[in-house]
Structure 1
Amino acid sequence: MSAQKLQDTYNQQGYVSGLPVLSPAELSDARQAFSALEEEFGKEYTQYSLHNVHLQYQWVMALAKNPRLLEAIKSVVGPDVLLLDSRFICKYPTSGAGAATTDQADGTVPEHQLPYVAWHQDMRYWGIDGGPVLSVWLALDDSLEDNGALKVIPGTHRSGMLPHELAKRHGNMLSVNQEIPEHLVDSGKAVLCPLLAGQMSIHDGFLVHASDPNMSQRRRCGLVIRYVPPFAYPIHDLDRPRKFNAVVLASGTDQFNHFSS
């Protein structure tokens, strides 16, 4: 996809998906490195708690600054890019770490207890204004329908901020357990964004998106990375103060220093 085509698609739909990033060798190295973290910290921890580890591990920083990845980001926001935040997210198989307690006679876990991500908008959580927030899912594993791939509702990035409320269903992986009310989500227009390991998707901070439980026997792991242009700035919200201690210049220059404190 050319830079212009990518920009046009992103602006119209609010996302692009299936972009190749990692070579087979790069993917193999990243998977081995992540396996070492699983062994060190345990799968229950690595499911969601490896937050901003690009500051600790050079191999994670290298993923976040991968030239092929950044070329796609720059085609949307321009040559100057800040890396705002990163987090590994893993949905392990039903019988793996992080699965709900088994309470059925056949030893399986009820689907309604499995980890999932409710319909939401990232901008609800980030407290950023003045510019877009782009979220990347860089797949370390194949991310397909049966193991809980990202699903989006195209064009909803133009809807502005929608109301969010506490999720009614158990297992929501969002840290503040919120969701967009069901009557505001046209789930019939949802589009699945399957990825092969080494590919990525990018979506806008206002795009309505979610993901279903992992119903397979395969792990679904990816690195989520947020990027902003330097002219974006944090909102000062006394009700929910936020800190941006992991911001790194990923490309170009930062003439604004909005995140310097």
Structure 2
Amino acid sequence: MKRDAAKALYEQQGYMSAIPILSPEELQQARDAFADLERKHGEDYTAYSLHNVHKEYDWVMGLAKHPKLLEAVTAVLGPDVILLDSRFICKYPISKMQKSNGVIQPNNTCDKEKDGIEKPEAMPFVAWHQDMKYWGFDGGPVLSVWLALDDSLEDNGALQVIPGSHHSGLLPHYQSKRAGNMLSVNQEIPEELVETEKAILCPLQAGQMSIHDGLLVHASDPNTSNRRRCGYVIRYVPTCTYPIQDPERPRTFPATVLVSGVDKYNHFSKTSSL
């Protein structure tokens, strides 16, 4: 697909999926390197806590600056692009959970209710949300990447999106009432505001990526398979964006990197060029 057509499709539906990025050799190298981090830190940590490690590991920066990945990103955002933030997210397989009284319990751990009785934890999921809700910047869009290190399919909790929902602007988010939400501040768009009947699944093969707009409503279900679902999530913005002080959107950006073009604005004063 030509760049102009790709940009038009992205702007219309708010996402694109199944974009091939990594060669088999590149994918294996990334999986091997991630396995080293799992051995070093443990899976409880690597599930969600590998945040902004693109400045710590050259191989991670290599993923974030992969030429095929940046080709798709710059087709949407233009030639001058900053890496805003990144994180590995893993949903580990059901085989690493224990069934207790018919309820799946991650990592053999329990929560205690007020009466002291232990109850099994819920399976991890990602609630319906928009990435922009807690990102404190303005002046331009954010584009989110999911670069799949594993196959991402329906049974292991692939991304679901509501096409075109980015045109509705920023929706209200409240604290999720469901246990297991992986989002860092437990945010969730109320169900009555989500047109779930329009939801589209975005399956990926390992080495492919999806991209979506920061206002696109999206979510993912629990991993009910016996396979891991791991991906590298990267946020990109055009250099014209700038940080703002907003208590409703408190996220700061200590690890920004210019990954394409030039930055004539220098709105993110700590941005480096690697």
TM band (smaller chain): over 0.9
Question: Is contact 2:134–2:250 with CA below 8 Å preserved after alignment?
Answer: no
Q: Distance in 1 between matches of 2:104 and 2:245?
A: 46
C-alpha separation in 1, matches of 2:130 and 2:179: 19
Amino acid at match of 1:8: A
In 2: Cα distance, 1:108 partner to 1:81 partner: 42
Distance 1:88 1:39 in 2: 15
Shift of 1:127: 1.5
Structure 2 counterparts to residues 68-79 of structure 1, below 5 A: 68-79=68-79
**Structure-2 separation of matches of 1:235 and 1:102:** 46
Structure 1: which 4+ aligned runs deviate by more than 2 Å?
107-112, 238-243
What is the identity, as a one-letter code, of the residue corresponding to 1:34?
A: F
Following superposition, the deviation at residue 31 of structure 1 comes to 0.3
Question: Alpha carbons of 1:7 and 1:239: their partners in 2 closer, same or farther (altered >3 Å)?
Answer: closer
Say whether residues 1:163 and 2:163 are aligned partners: no
Match status 1:103 vs 2:112: no
Q: Distance in 1 between matches of 2:30 and 2:251?
A: 30
Asked if the contact 1:151–1:192 (Cα under 8 Å) also holds between the matched residues in 2, the reply is yes
1:214 corresponds to which residue? 223
Q: Does 1:179 align with 2:188?
A: yes
- Kindly provide the CA deviation profile for residues 33-70 of structure 1, in whole angstroms up to 9, marking residues without a partner as x: 00000000000100000000001000000000000000
1:136 matched residue in structure 2: 145
The range that moved more, 173-182 or 239-248, is 239-248
CA–CA distance in structure 2, aligned partners of residues 86 and 198 of structure 1:
17
Name the counterpart of 1:83.
83
SS of 2:10's partner is helix
C-alpha contact 1:18 1:199 (8 A) present in aligned 2: yes
Partner of 1:242: 251
Q: Which residue of 1 aligns with 2:129?
A: 120
Q: Determine if contact 1:112/1:169 at 8 Å carries over to the other structure.
A: no
Q: Secondary structure at the match of 1:158?
A: helix
**Between the two proteins, what is the percent identity of the paired residues?**
67
How far the C-alpha of 1:183 sits from its partner, in A, is: 0.4
The counterpart of 2:265, out of the listed 250, 256, 260, is 256
1:107-140 CA-to-partner distances (Å, cap 9, x unmatched) read 8449981000000000002122110000000000
Alignment deviations for residues 69-89 of structure 1 (CA, whole Å, 9 cap, x no partner): 000000001110100010000
Deviations 1:126-181 (CA, angstroms, capped at 9, x unpaired): 12211000000000000000000000000001100000011010000001001000
Matched AA of 1:25: E
Q: Which runs of 5+ in 2 are unaligned?
A: 107-119
Shift of 1:235: 1.6
CA drift at 1:240: 5.5
SS in 2 for 1:143: coil
Q: 1:240 to 1:6 in 2, by over 3 A?
A: closer
| TM-score after normalising by structure 2 | 0.90
Paired residues of 1:94 and 1:114 also in contact (CA < 8 A): no
Alpha-carbon offset, residue 197 of structure 1:
0.2
Unaligned runs of 5+ in 1: none
Determine if contact 1:94/1:109 at 8 Å carries over to the other structure.
no
Measure the CA separation in 1 of the matches of 2:126 and 2:65: 26
1:38 matched to 2:35? The reply is no
CA distance, structure 2, for counterparts of residue 127 and residue 108 of structure 1:
36
Shift of 1:218: 0.1
Q: Return the offset for 1:23.
A: 0.4
Count of paired positions: 257
2:203 matches 1:194: yes
Contact 2:74 2:81 in 1 (8 A): yes
SS, match of residue 18 in structure 2: strand
